[in-house]
Structure 1
Amino acid sequence: MRRILTWLGTAGAALVVLGLGVTPMGCYLSRAAYEEARILARRQPIQTLVVRDRTDPALRAKLQLVLAARQFAIDSLHLDAGESFTAFSPLDRDTLVLVLSAAYRDRLEPKSWWFPVVGRFPYKGFFDFAEARRTAEALQGEGFDVTMGPSAAFSTLGWFNDPLVSTTVKADSVTLVNTVLHELLHTTFFAKGQVSFNESFATFVGGRGAEQFFRARGDSALLRRAQRDWQDDRLLGAFWERTAREIDGVFAALPDRAIAERIAARDTVYARARRRLVDSVAPQLTGYPAGWAERVPLNNAVLLARRVYAERLDRFDSVYAASGGHLRDAIARVIRTHRDSVRTAAK
């Protein structure tokens, strides 16, 4: 599964880290600021790398694809790219950042973390992998469901000109284009405090945008792959949505104080969901390895973390259909509708 982190600490780090001193948040932001500075210091202009003779041919092809996807985002989708993805930063590790999510076992509620400037988020990214594992173990010891996995890319929401990093460029062509468009949607529009909306909207733009990109290039093979990927996203989005409704249903039927009974009831739901995933959903998936459905953990943390990126993808597709399959118009309509709803709620 693609995991793309909207990086939380970096934006506020330069503003508040000195004030926070040696507090845990101050240490966390210091590390984030340090790692961001290292990434920015290694930037090399992509255009320069493309024309340089000693650039590896495989890397050159990926860089050219990124530039093409970026230009497509600007010209065809009217996304605000700024200077993002005009530079490349090679990293000295295979994993960019580990993303940790946690949830209460007896209710479908995520643990959240507060960050300066940007507020609360239901996940936390770690450049310090040992600290990520220690935090995960501590949360498990406190009784939380926990899930953790790598992210190959992140967005600073326009605070910095996000470069392409070597962990991102390793992806296949469809995933790479999807990632570029996903991130540039974040740069263009980000609703503060609405993580699931933001990430699911970006999932939609990345998925449908990759389809349109390869269709415009006349690449039928990669177009079919992009279409299959989007179908996978929608199928799994519907699976997570149905499972969440069923979990909510058993929790609603039991009193809050009946913790053991609530956990046992939700485990029964997860057992049924596993069979549905293995028997009905997995046979329809094309981009997941054999045995994935049997291995993927099912708990509240996994469920909520997956839904962040796939909540009601059908509603975005309905706007896409109403826009005649014109993604640029669908994006504009979603943004306009969201802004109108915020203004109405504020009155």
Structure 2
Amino acid sequence: MAAIAALGLSGCTGIGYYWQSVSGHLQMMNAARPVSDWLADAQTPEQLKTRLALSQRIRSFAASELNLPDNASYRRYADLQRRAVVWNVVAAPELSLTLKTWCFPVAGCVGYRGYFAEAEARAEAARLQATGLEVGVFGVPAYSTLGWLNWAGGDPLLNTFIAYPEGELARLIIHELAHQVVYAQDDTMFNESFATAVERLGSQRWLATQASPAARAEYAAFDGRRQQFQALVRATRHRLDAIYDLNWAPAPARAAQVAMKSIAISDFKQQYEQLKAAWSGFAGYDPWVAQANNAAFGAQAAYDELVPGFEALFKREGGDWRRFYDAVKRLASLPKEERHQALETRNTDK
């Protein structure tokens, strides 16, 4: 699934957590070197040079064609020697898709907690699970510092995503840059849905005007599977929401809700196996499905719930990126419920 951005680097939820956040980020920044250095280095593998050169073309396209920030971000590269930059912990109650939130002085309140060490993330997940919450731990290939650290070199390209197929690499870079345009405190769904809308619209333009036929075909196959999977996730999420919204009495009726929930998740997994068969055994979503629970479904909602409203707004603004960003900034200045309602209304009226 898409990466969760905006790690709470300024969190004050304990000195240990604060230290791992700051030290982990600094280690990443110190490992980064300018892309030009990697390209000039005879020891750099040719395949990596090709990917880095592609990333810079995408980076320039994002600034010139999508009006995304033209700054230090994604001009350097670091090999972290691991498969994820951070591991995010998400948690939700047994009968709710509402995520537990953690609050940070700068980033505000978000529905996850990030760790640079997987073992620490899993230890936190075990602690939360012991309190009765359902939990998930997801490796994240990239996160955004929202442009606040461009003076120190900005967010770097990483080994965790540089080998992505061309269309996916474009999506990720565009998504993370979008976080530097608009950020509403305490509203993960608004922020992630906005970035997802920008990545979809922007990568479509990249593929249509810059990519080779082979890259477009590769993306079409990958994105077709993704859309089918996301549709199944959304349908299951709405089914679970309906079960939890019944507001039954806590005694025997609660047991009935738990049973209905179990059936819904079982049906989800069976339908996923049917999709895999149609995909000739493609198993890229297996890790997500293996830990599918309220926390996983709740986290995914942040990335797609408001996307149709943002896409409708982009169309209403004539496909003009500057006008679109200005309109989103105006929405971000509204109270949370009001901005969500405005996006939902735009979607139904498009």
Cα contact 1:98–1:129 (8 A) shared by 2: yes
Aligned to 1:35, the other structure's residue is in SS state helix
- Aligned CA-pair RMSD: 3.1
Aligned to 2:345: none
Aligned to 2:58: 69
Aligned to 2:239: 246
Aligned to 1:217: 210
Unaligned 5+ runs, structure 2: 340-350
1:187 to 180, 200, 213: 180
1:238 Cα shift? 3.4
Change over 3 Å in CA distance of 1:129–1:183 after alignment to 2? same
Change over 3 Å in CA distance of 1:4–1:294 after alignment to 2? closer
1:285 Cα shift? 6.3
Q: Deviation per CA, 1:79-106: give whole Å up to 9, x if none.
A: 1142101111222333321111111012
For the pair 1:260 / 2:255, whether they are aligned, the reply is yes
Change over 3 Å in CA distance of 1:234–1:334 after alignment to 2? farther
Aligned to 1:72, the other structure's residue is in SS state helix
Cα contact 1:4–1:154 (8 A) shared by 2: yes
1:262 Cα shift? 2.6
Cα contact 2:109–2:185 (8 A) shared by 1: no
1:191 Cα shift? 1.6
Instruction: Give the 5 Å matches for 1:171-186.
Output: 171-186=164-179
Unaligned 5+ runs, structure 1: 14-19
Change over 3 Å in CA distance of 1:334–1:297 after alignment to 2? farther
Change over 3 Å in CA distance of 1:117–1:4 after alignment to 2? closer
Instruction: Give the 5 Å matches for 1:13-52.
Output: 25-52=14-41
In 1: Cα distance, 2:237 partner to 2:43 partner:
51
Cα contact 1:233–1:310 (8 A) shared by 2: no
Aligned to 1:318: 312
1:150 Cα shift? 0.8
Aligned to 1:128: 117
1:73 Cα shift? 0.7
Change over 3 Å in CA distance of 1:284–1:314 after alignment to 2? farther
Aligned to 1:6: 6
Query: What residue identity is the alignment partner of 2:268?
Result: A
Query: What residue identity is the alignment partner of 1:267?
Result: S
**Segment drifting more, 64-73 vs 132-141:** 132-141
Q: Deviation per CA, 1:31-89: give whole Å up to 9, x if none.
A: 11111111222221112322333322111111111111111110000011421011112
1:233 Cα shift? 4.3
Cα contact 2:317–2:324 (8 A) shared by 1: no
In 2: Cα distance, 1:184 partner to 1:120 partner:
20
In 2: Cα distance, 1:293 partner to 1:85 partner:
28
In 1: Cα distance, 2:129 partner to 2:271 partner:
27
Change over 3 Å in CA distance of 1:2–1:75 after alignment to 2? same
For the pair 1:271 / 2:273, whether they are aligned, the reply is no
In 2: Cα distance, 1:85 partner to 1:214 partner:
19
Aligned to 1:109: 98
Change over 3 Å in CA distance of 1:343–1:5 after alignment to 2? closer
Query: What residue identity is the alignment partner of 2:293?
Result: N
Aligned to 2:86: 97
Change over 3 Å in CA distance of 1:342–1:81 after alignment to 2? farther
Aligned to 1:239, the other structure's residue is in SS state helix
Aligned to 1:307: 301
For the pair 1:86 / 2:75, whether they are aligned, the reply is yes
Query: What residue identity is the alignment partner of 2:137?
Result: M
Aligned to 1:40, the other structure's residue is in SS state helix
Aligned to 1:3, the other structure's residue is in SS state coil
Cα contact 2:95–2:244 (8 A) shared by 1: yes
Change over 3 Å in CA distance of 1:318–1:220 after alignment to 2? farther
Aligned to 2:143, the other structure's residue is in SS state strand
Cα contact 2:63–2:69 (8 A) shared by 1: yes
Report how many aligned residue pairs link the two structures: 333
**TM-score scaled to structure 1, two decimals?**
0.84
Aligned to 1:165: 158
1:312 Cα shift? 3.9
Cα contact 1:101–1:123 (8 A) shared by 2: yes
Aligned to 1:17: none
Cα contact 1:277–1:293 (8 A) shared by 2: no
Instruction: Give the 5 Å matches for 1:190-205.
Output: 190-205=183-198
Change over 3 Å in CA distance of 1:344–1:124 after alignment to 2? closer
In 1: Cα distance, 2:309 partner to 2:210 partner:
27
**Segment drifting more, 167-176 vs 125-134:** 167-176
Aligned to 1:153: 142
